[in-house]
Structure 1
Amino acid sequence: MYTLKKSLGQHFLKDENICRKIVEALQQESLSQLLEVGPGGGALTKYLKNIPDIDFKAVEIDDEKVAYLSNTYPELKDKIVHQSFLDALPPFDGEFTVVGNFPYNISTQILFKILEWKDQVPVMVGMFQKEVAQRVAAPSGNKVYGVLSVLVQAFYQVKYLFDVHENCFNPPPKVKSGVIKMYRTTATEPMKSEKHFFLLVKTAFNQRRKTLRNAVRSLFEPDQLEDPIFNQRAEQLTVKDFAALTFKMK
């Protein structure tokens, strides 16, 4: 078979019911091109490859898992991209959906990679460590609302689908998991630029206990900082608030 590699954060999904629920969530959308990230032992892959009228690919860094998948599912020959997802180029022309039981040790980086590809990725269904999934879906004012929440929600609507128990994996992780679905928004909030927006959000949450005025002072002229919105802390601002503030930045 294959071995588990802790260095790659591998916890393989073994609960068939959870696999089917993830695939059902995917199939609620129209699919033509689908990328699975980190197929591992193929728990999801065996369902995904059989979705009708789908162009399917999987990206996997682990040599052993690539060999296992190729031997077990010969039809996947030439469908497996053998490299790290974080280093990959978009595997399709045009739009494609992303799905995966994502390695928890790089889950935040995976989300930022999807943001880089947002023009091509209208939908993502993925499993993360529960606290990361909750953070991505958190509304403003929530104690776990932060950089990841704002940056993802600026471009995607996020729906928390369901929890996944530790015993659904081999080996069981020490944390609970959660599955989320992200839909690209049809109209993003106006902003000066994405660069300004990312800088503002990251700077604001870097000192989240301070008022916005103190946290982002370096990004604005003194007269702009008189606006009452700067009396609030970062977690109190919505995506719309952050986007609007970018027009006042230096």
Structure 2
Amino acid sequence: MPFYDSLAQITDTHYMHKARKRFGQNFLRDPGVIQRIVAAVAVKENDNLVEIGPGQGAITGLLLERTKTLNVVELDRDLIPILLAQFANHKGFAIHQADALKFDFSQFFEPERPLRIVGNLPYNISTPLIFHLLALGNQVKDMHFMLQKEVVERMAAAPGGKNYGRLSIMTQYHCQVLQLFNVPPECFTPQPKVDSAIVRLVPRVEIKYQANDVAILDQLVTAAFGQRRKTLRNALKQWCSAEELEQQGINPTARAETIDLEAFVRLANYCQQR
């Protein structure tokens, strides 16, 4: 149920809100960037749309012009009156005051209407929130997020570079990752100290390299990257021997950042089946 459902519950429609550091709030202000994000999402009238962290509604209004249904999840109670003052008259609009990290997004899923998720995600929770949403699997059609540029680069990274790691492997296992465009700090109030980027994540209909147990894959990858400078022989000694690594076509003296997704899945399946 929505946290509020009527304008009668708003005490001050002119409430002024100051961005809160503890919530990681940076409000998007640039009209051109806002239009560009909405164009990238390409909302359709019957989409089952969810917005995480609508803030003061910079993107929300344009989304509502294009779709019949929009559920928004906002942690900050003080932003609820601001959002309702603007959007409560839209029949398909509902606000859910909740922590997105703990929120059950599957409640919005309909078999014929998979979720389309949009959000300007707080930098301080972006990685755990991405993993929370990846668990939804095929309940999601796609996701478009504003994230710290560095996080997007890590998600999209290929083997062999410093950005490649657990986030790269687990995101790419579940989704196709496309970095759309960058957003500079001056587009926000207050200005963040880092650049941002828009990313599109499209869950894979068929997973090319299927893990027998995704949790084991995640644990293995976490161990491999736990100390990046270690060789796999040392980083994974609790999982398998150097000989077993070689049997799976993996050089025991290699470091985790050189190993591709297919090899990690192959090794995880071997460890799971022993």
Question: Structure 1: any 5+ residue segments left out of the alignment?
Answer: none
1:220-242: CA deviation from partner (whole Å, max 9, x where unpaired)? 25641343513321111111111
From 89, 101, 109, the counterpart of 1:93: 109
Looking at CA atoms only, which structure, 1 or 2, has the larger radius of gyration?
A: 2
Distance 1:31 1:123, change over 3 A: farther
57-66 or 207-216: which moved more?
Answer: 207-216
User: Per-residue deviation at 1:88?
Assistant: 0.7
User: Per-residue deviation at 1:51?
Assistant: 1.1
Query: Which residue of structure 2 lines up, in the alignment, with residue 209 of structure 1?
Result: 229
Paired amino acid for 2:218: F
Correspondence 1:197 to 2:217: yes
74-83 or 162-171: which moved more?
Answer: 74-83
Superposition pairs for residues 147-166 of structure 1, below 5 Å?
147-166=166-185
Query: Which residue of structure 1 lines up, in the alignment, with residue 38 of structure 2?
Result: 23
Q: Is the 8 A contact 1:31 1:97 kept in 2?
A: no
Paired amino acid for 1:70: L
User: Per-residue deviation at 1:170?
Assistant: 0.4
Query: Which residue of structure 2 lines up, in the alignment, with residue 234 of structure 1?
Result: 256
Which secondary structure state, in structure 2, belongs to the residue aligned with residue 213 of structure 1? helix
1:170-218: CA deviation from partner (whole Å, max 9, x where unpaired)? 0111111111111111221122211111111111000221111111111
Question: How much identity, in percent, do the aligned residues show?
Answer: 36
TM-score (norm 2): 0.86
From 171, 177, 180, the counterpart of 2:199: 180
Q: Is the 8 A contact 2:146 2:198 kept in 1?
A: yes
Q: Is the 8 A contact 2:101 2:129 kept in 1?
A: yes
Superposition pairs for residues 105-120 of structure 1, below 5 Å?
105-120=124-139
Distance 1:58 1:79 in 2: 6
Which secondary structure state, in structure 2, belongs to the residue aligned with residue 125 of structure 1? strand
Distance 2:40 2:158 in 1: 22
Paired amino acid for 2:265: A
Query: Which residue of structure 1 lines up, in the alignment, with residue 20 of structure 2?
Result: 5
From 229, 235, 244, the counterpart of 2:266: 244
**Aligned-pair Cα RMSD in Å:** 1.8
From 62, 72, 75, the counterpart of 1:58: 72
Which secondary structure state, in structure 2, belongs to the residue aligned with residue 245 of structure 1? helix
Paired amino acid for 1:207: Q
Distance 2:142 2:133 in 1: 10
Distance 1:30 1:198, change over 3 A: farther
Superposition pairs for residues 100-139 of structure 1, below 5 Å?
100-139=119-158
Correspondence 1:67 to 2:86: no
22-31 or 98-107: which moved more?
Answer: 22-31
Distance 2:45 2:165 in 1: 31
Paired amino acid for 1:234: A
1:151-188: CA deviation from partner (whole Å, max 9, x where unpaired)? 10001010011110100000111111111111111221
How many residues are treated as equivalent by the alignment? 249
Which secondary structure state, in structure 1, belongs to the residue aligned with residue 25 of structure 2? coil
Q: Is the 8 A contact 1:224 1:248 kept in 2?
A: no
223-232 or 14-23: which moved more?
Answer: 223-232
Distance 1:30 1:113 in 2: 27
Distance 1:226 1:244, change over 3 A: closer
Which secondary structure state, in structure 1, belongs to the residue aligned with residue 151 of structure 2? helix
Runs of 4+ in 1 over 3 A off after TM superposition: 28-31, 225-228
Query: Which residue of structure 1 lines up, in the alignment, with residue 12 of structure 2?
Result: none
220-229 or 81-90: which moved more?
Answer: 220-229
Distance 2:139 2:83 in 1: 26
Paired amino acid for 2:88: P
